[in-house]
């Protein structure tokens, strides 16, 4: 659930309200000075947070230092500006979080295509948010389709039947 306030006190009030909606709620805050300050307080209050709109290693580092439960680097939006930068950011974040033993989990966001998803998973992010058109492609591969058809053709040629 995302706050819409842009000042620390407004974010804190909205975050506290949103967190009362259920244990599963994670409060999204923007990676701004005010958002990071609010994240620090919410972390101390044991309210789960997701610092979002992350576009640089320094932003991801600040989110972790503030105690964010999750951070969301926006891979696709970053790569709209500079190709390969999203993948590079995820890789750097994974390394820094692991090296410094940060508990913040990385949610790769703004996936534009299957290659973004596969790269993010290969780097070792903790989660990925992706649109339906990408999720539908996860189990698809043309060699799987060809292989399945070959299996079915062989089965039918053998004239075998499953018992009833």
Looking at the chain, the number of H-run helices and the number of E-run strands are: 8, 5
Radius of gyration of the chain (CA): 21
Q: HEC profile for 20-41?
A: CCCCCCCEEEECCHHHHHHHHH
Tell me, yes or no, if 28 is annotated catalytic. Answer: yes
- pLDDT, position 63: 98
Sheet containing 127-128, strands listed edge to edge, beginning at the edge strand earlier in sequence? 27-30, 49-54, 70-73, 105-108, 127-128
- pLDDT, position 121: 96
Helix, strand, or coil (residue 99): helix
* Residue 71 burial (CB count, 10 A): 30
Q: Is the pTM above the cut of 0.95? A: no
- pLDDT, position 160: 87
Tell me the pLDDT of the chain (164 aa) as tens digits.
999 999 999 999 999 999 999 999 999 999 999 999 999 999 999 999 999 999 999 999 999 999 999 999 999 999 999 888 999 999 999 999 999 999 999 999 999 999 999 999 999 999 999 999 999 999 999 999 999 999 999 999 999 889 98
């Amino acid at each position: 659930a995302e706050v819409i306030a842009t000042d620390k006190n407004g974010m804190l009030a909205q975050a506290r309200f949103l967190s009362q909606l259920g244990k599963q709620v994670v409060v999204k805050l923007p990676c701004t000075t005010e958002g990071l300050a609010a994240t620090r307080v919410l972390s101390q209050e044991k309210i789960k947070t997701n610092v979002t709109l992350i576009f640089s290693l320094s932003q991801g580092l600040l989110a972790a230092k503030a105690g964010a439960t999750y951070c969301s680097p926006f891979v696709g939006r970053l790569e709209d500006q500079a190709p390969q930068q999203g993948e590079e950011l995820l890789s750097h974040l994974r390394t820094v979080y692991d090296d410094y033993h940060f508990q913040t989990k990385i949610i790769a966001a703004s996936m534009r295509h299957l290659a973004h998803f596969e790269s993010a998973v290969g780097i070792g992010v903790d989660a990925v948010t992706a649109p339906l058109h990408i999720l539908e492609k996860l189990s698809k591969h043309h060699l799987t389709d060809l292989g399945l058809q070959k299996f079915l053709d062989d089965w039918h040629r053998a004239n075998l039947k499953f018992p009833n």
